[in-house]
């Protein structure tokens, strides 16, 4: 392995529009509302969290993806539990 290969090992690119599978559990911040529905934004991907409690916004939560549209980078998720507080 060359010095350059060692230096670059493990480096990859992240996307600003991640995709998710139904049933996948993720940790994300619930960042605001779309109308009356709380949403979680992961990059430019938006998940609607229709059953989130009122105090879920601005907190980290464990979510289970219920549906996801790869073309629009939108989906729905079920709120499972609060896992952290906001950083601000």
CATH number at residue 61: 2.40.50.140
Query: Does residue 3 belong to any structural domain of this protein?
Result: no
Q: What is the pLDDT of residues 19-75, one digit of tens each?
A: 999 999 999 999 999 999 999 999 999 999 989 998 899 999 999 999 999 999 999
Query: Does residue 38 belong to any structural domain of this protein?
Result: yes
Whether the predicted model's global pTM rises above the 0.85 cut: no
- Count the domains in the chain: 1
* Biggest CA pair distance of the chain: 55
Query: Does residue 50 belong to any structural domain of this protein?
Result: yes
Query: Does residue 46 belong to any structural domain of this protein?
Result: yes
Q: 45-48 and 74-84 as β-strands: parallel, antiparallel, unpaired? A: parallel
Query: Does residue 7 belong to any structural domain of this protein?
Result: no
Domain hosting 71: range is: 21-84
């Amino acid at each position: 392995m060359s010095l350059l290969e060692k230096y670059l090992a493990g480096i990859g690119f992240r996307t600003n529009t991640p995709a998710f599978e139904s049933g996948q559990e993720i940790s994300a911040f619930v960042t605001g509302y779309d109308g009356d529905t709380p949403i979680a934004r992961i990059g430019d991907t938006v998940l609607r969290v229709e059953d989130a409690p009122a105090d879920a916004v601005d907190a980290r939560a464990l979510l289970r993806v219920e549906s996801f549209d790869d073309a629009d980078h939108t989906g729905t998720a079920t709120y499972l539990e609060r896992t952290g507080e906001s950083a601000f």
